[in-house]
Amino acid sequence: MPLILDNDAVARLVSPADVVTALDRAYRAYAASRSLTAPRLDFQSPQTEGGRSWQLGLAAGLGPDRWGCLRVKSDVIYRRVVDGRPRKEKYCVEPGTYMGLLMVFDMTDGALRAIVHDGLIQQMRVGADSALGVRYMAREDAATLGILGAGGMARTHIDAILQVRPIRRVRIYAPTRANSEALAAEARARQGVDAEAMDSAEAAVRDADILSACTNAIGPVVPGAALDPGTHVTCIGGTLDAVADGRIDRALRFGTASGPLEVPDWAVEDEGVTFALGGEKAGAGTARRFHAIPRDRRVMFADLLADPSRGRTDDSQITFSERGNIHGAQFAALAGLIVERAAARGEGVVLDDALFLQTIRN
């Protein structure tokens, strides 16, 4: 019978180390063609006079084992300006509440095994994405982490990156100083690291061995002129500026969703595919990062596994990594792990199969 699992249950079931390990296996499976996903699909309503649109977001994938997963999101999306910069914002029903569900299916019989809140999984998986980029591309002795942003994504980045490198110092910048200071205090208390709020993005970037941009800003957020030789860069909000693009020596992408069997040459490298009612895409912002870097400096994860010399080759190189558009394969891997543990530990609210099964053929 299906389980309902909320974010509190997810927090009890998986740790940052668990998520890093699960995603490493998922990426290796995808590189070996043992899992499957399509690009994320976004369906948008026309914008209102206030510039808001409703967006239905779908991501689906099959894992290498028995689990398939469909993620469904319902967001009102819009922009707002903070300190002169546009930012992506969203909510469901009202600001401060969000809707995102993972429907987890057993491929052996098609049964719905769980419906899982996606909030914590989303933050943990994105942090683990960056941590795996650090694992494969950062210097082994990387000890200083620069963070741009001070929200949930920044927190899970610190948690995850500490699993793969001996981080001793964390430097945090966000436009709201109080947020930077609060996250720095939390990192000192929880992680025992030397964490400090900085006065500018450049100050957080300088001397960083690893830089993670975790903002919801639109446009360039990584100041390339401030990057030191040897830095590894991740960016899950905003983009690198043109100087940073030009300074990247090696860029890693973990995967690109394949095209359908009917149109095998069709492929999308962007994070998602948008269908907009009325033909105009909502202006909440999209970003291309990996493909802004010169082609001869890019490497896919499957190629890196086959030939490690395609990655970092010396400590002075500036490197970059990103997930790509294989969200569905990630969610299938993580949701399967969570459901297996929930069943073994008696977590979650149990629902009756009769709520979901029907006797009328559809």
Going by C-alpha positions, the residue among 293, 288, 178 that lies closest to residue 238 is 288
What is the pLDDT at residue 86? 79
pLDDT of 207 above 60:
yes
- Residue intervals of the chain classified under CATH 3.40.50.720 are 139-262+282-324
What is the pLDDT at residue 287? 66
In whole angstroms, give the CA distance from residue 286 to residue 295: 20
pLDDT of 273 above 70:
yes
Work out the number of other CB atoms within 10 angstroms of the CB of residue 189. Answer: 10
- Tens of pLDDT along 226-264? 999 999 999 988 888 889 889 999 999 999 998 888 987
- Least confident range of 9-13, 99-103, 282-286, 357-361: 282-286
What is the pLDDT at residue 284? 56
CATH fold for domain 139-262+282-324:
Rossmann fold (3.40.50)
- Residue intervals of the chain classified under CATH 3.30.1780.10 are 3-121+327-355
Mean pLDDT over 35-40 rounds to 93
Mean pLDDT over 143-165 rounds to 96
Confidence of residue 285 (pLDDT cuts 50, 70, 90): low
- Say which CATH class 3-121+327-355 falls into: alpha beta
